[in-house]
């Protein structure tokens, strides 16, 4: 065991207060459907380019997350945000009007987990009372950058994943604020028979940042195979350091390995004597209705785990239906240039433990 195999425990109880979700048409028609805060029927969100559409998605998502707390952006000490586009331009343009210190991230599909970890670090240390983690992806902007513009009509391979058009914003703050902030206290008092717009029982308990893993995969249409070793590496290290086993958790969810990577991760861990059971799932398998929608291997993109975690997993943790969850955000750290040069695709898997508290 390496001295760097460390689990960071957050003793000062950083909590997730709210989230905002913005989805595209296919995502709205998928397995989670009407639980998202808003969607676009044509995926443009009223903007003239796909890249500007993605920026608008981030703006809308953060506005929804703040509105649920009756907050404005002055309550935030920092924003951590990232996307798939060069130099995080979707995040930079989308969040420019919030007037909050901004740290841009690139972790590909692991960006949500990376953002939550950093927000938990900064809140746990007491530097800020609250921070935002925001991320997005757009199918058309990602296809234009990494593969071919959608107008080209290129054939997709069976192992390819569908980049989700979606954005999620998450407000992380000191749990003690729930009892002293007047706006949060008011937001907790929902009308009878209506759910509270904010979360009161979700804590970020632990984190294990991932290591960059590269196993020789060069096929950009098989990201699941590239990312599976990174997911397996992080889970293996976490189980060893924590002394726990898969059955100790209500849910172990990756994002986004989809069908190919989900299967490979199970096989890789089984070779090490760790057997993942029915509590192992993946955001890329959850987001779409695979019976009705042909998404090949499943979903991918920063927005995939953002939508699934926000709309499906966090509400269940808040209600106590899930009490102990491991979320592993997995990312293929490639660029168009590295793919064109035929370089193997490095990947990463960041682990966040979320608990009902």
How much is the average pLDDT of 94-106?
Answer: 97
**CATH number of 204-356: 3.90.1150.10, 2.30.30.60, 3.40.47.40, 3.90.79.10?**
3.40.47.40
Quick one: pLDDT at residue 332? 93
In order of 134, 188, 356, the CA distances from 10 in angstroms are 21, 24, 14
> pTM for the complete prediction?
0.94
Vertex 115: Cα angle to 28 and 299 (nearest 5):
35
Dump pLDDT digits (tens) for 12-54: 999 999 999 999 999 999 989 789 999 999 999 999 999 999 9
Dump pLDDT digits (tens) for 304-347: 999 999 999 999 999 999 999 999 999 999 988 898 899 999 99
Phi-psi region of 135 (alpha: psi -120 to 50; beta: other; left: phi over 0): beta
**Residue 268, number of CB atoms within 10 A of its CB:** 18
- Indicate the domain borders of the chain: 13-188, 204-356
Residue 19's nearest CA partner among 63, 51, 59 is 63
Say whether pLDDT at 152 is over 50.
no
Please name the residue ranges forming H helices in the chain. 25-28, 50-67, 89-94, 111-124, 139-146, 177-180, 182-188, 223-242, 258-271, 283-286, 302-308, 314-319, 336-340
Six token digits for residue 275? 């057997």
Quick one: pLDDT at residue 279? 98
Dump pLDDT digits (tens) for 262-320: 999 999 999 999 999 999 999 999 999 877 766 666 888 999 999 999 999 999 999 99
Dump pLDDT digits (tens) for 189-239: 766 666 668 999 999 999 999 999 999 999 888 889 999 999 999 999 999
Contact 10, 206 (CB under 8 A): yes
**In 121-225, where do the E strands start and end?**
130-137, 162-163, 166-174, 202-208
Q: Is 127 exposed, middle or buried (0-12, 13-18, 19+ CB in 10 A)?
A: exposed
Quick one: pLDDT at residue 289? 80
How much is the average pLDDT of 5-9?
Answer: 95
Alpha-carbon distance of 46 to 39, in angstroms, equals 11
Identify any residues that bridge with 172 across adjacent strands, giving them in sequence order. Answer: 16, 131
Handedness of CA 175, 55, 83, 224 (dihedral sign): positive
Residue 310's nearest CA partner among 287, 332, 292, 288 is 287
Query: For domain 13-188, is the CATH number 1.10.3720.10?
Result: no
Percent of the chain at pLDDT above 90? 78
């Amino acid at each position: 065991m390496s001295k760097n195999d460390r689990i960071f425990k957050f003793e000062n109880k950083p909590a997730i207060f709210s989230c905002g979700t913005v989805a595209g048409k296919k995502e709205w028609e998928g397995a989670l459907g009407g639980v998202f805060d808003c969607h676009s029927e044509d995926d443009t969100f009223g903007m003239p380019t796909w890249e500007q559409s993605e920026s608008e998605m981030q703006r809308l998502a953060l506005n929804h997350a703040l509105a649920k707390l009756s907050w404005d952006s002055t309550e935030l000490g920092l924003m951590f945000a990232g996307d798939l586009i060069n130099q995080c331009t979707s995040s930079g343009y989308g969040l420019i009007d919030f007037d909050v210190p901004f740290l841009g991230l690139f972790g590909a599909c692991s960006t949500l987990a990376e953002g939550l970890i950093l927000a938990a670090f900064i809140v746990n240390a007491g530097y800020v009372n609250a921070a935002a983690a925001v991320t997005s992806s757009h199918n058309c902007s990602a296809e234009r950058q990494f593969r071919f513009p959608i107008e080209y009509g290129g054939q997709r391979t069976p192992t390819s994943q569908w980049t989700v058009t979606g954005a999620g914003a998450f407000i992380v703050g000191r749990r003690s604020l729930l009892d002293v902030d007047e706006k949060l206290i008011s937001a907790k008092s929902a009308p009878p028979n209506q759910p509270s717009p904010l979360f009161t029982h979700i804590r970020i308990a632990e984190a294990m940042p991932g290591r960059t893993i590269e196993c020789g995969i060069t096929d950009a249409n098989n990201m699941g195979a590239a990312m599976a070793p990174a997911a397996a590496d992080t889970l293996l290290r976490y189980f060893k350091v924590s002394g726990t086993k898969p059955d100790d958790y209500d849910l172990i969810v990756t994002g986004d390995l989809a069908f190919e990577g989900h299967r490979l991760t199970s096989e890789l861990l089984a070779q090490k004597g760790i057997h993942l059971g029915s509590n192992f799932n993946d955001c890329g398998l959850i987001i779409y209705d695979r019976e009705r929608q042909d998404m090949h291997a499943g979903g991918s993109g920063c927005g995939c785990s953002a939508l699934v975690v926000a709309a499906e997993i966090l509400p269940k943790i808040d209600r106590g239906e899930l009490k102990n969850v491991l979320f592993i955000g997995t990312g293929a750290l490639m660029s168009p240039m590295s793919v064109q040069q035929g370089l193997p695709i490095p990947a990463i898997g960041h682990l966040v433990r979320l608990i009902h508290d």
